Amino acid sequence: MKRLLAMVAAAGVLAGCGPLKSTSHLLDAEVQIQAARTAGAEKLAPYEWTAANLYIHKAREEVSYSDYQAGVDFAEKASRFAAQAREQAMANANAAEEAASSSPNP
């Protein structure tokens, strides 16, 4: 009886991890997307920006179906693309700034 009770308690604890883990990853991805937006990724890194937003949308959809692992996977992809979008946007902005400063003034 004690063994059964211990197994049920362990299963209950483990079942609660899915929503917590997926929520954490969703929040991390949203922070990365906001950082990319601040860097101007919408215009300066449109591919990565679009991919990040589509993946975060899909992650939320999967979590709403209680498919937490798929939600985590998509949220991680969204986070990676958002980080790439931020880096690309900053690199493009720096390149444009350097090109503007190196061109002769008329």
For the stretch 32-81, pLDDT in tens is 999 999 999 999 999 999 999 999 999 999 999 999 999 999 999 999 99
* Predicted local distance difference test score (pLDDT) of residue 96: 86
* Predicted local distance difference test score (pLDDT) of residue 99: 84
Q: Is the pLDDT of residue 89 over 60?
A: yes
Structure token digits, residue 94: 């720096």
* Predicted local distance difference test score (pLDDT) of residue 14: 47
* Predicted local distance difference test score (pLDDT) of residue 100: 84
Q: What is the mean pLDDT of residues 4-26?
A: 66
Other beta carbons within 10 angstroms of residue 58's beta carbon come to: 17
Q: Is the pLDDT of residue 2 over 90?
A: no
* Predicted local distance difference test score (pLDDT) of residue 101: 83
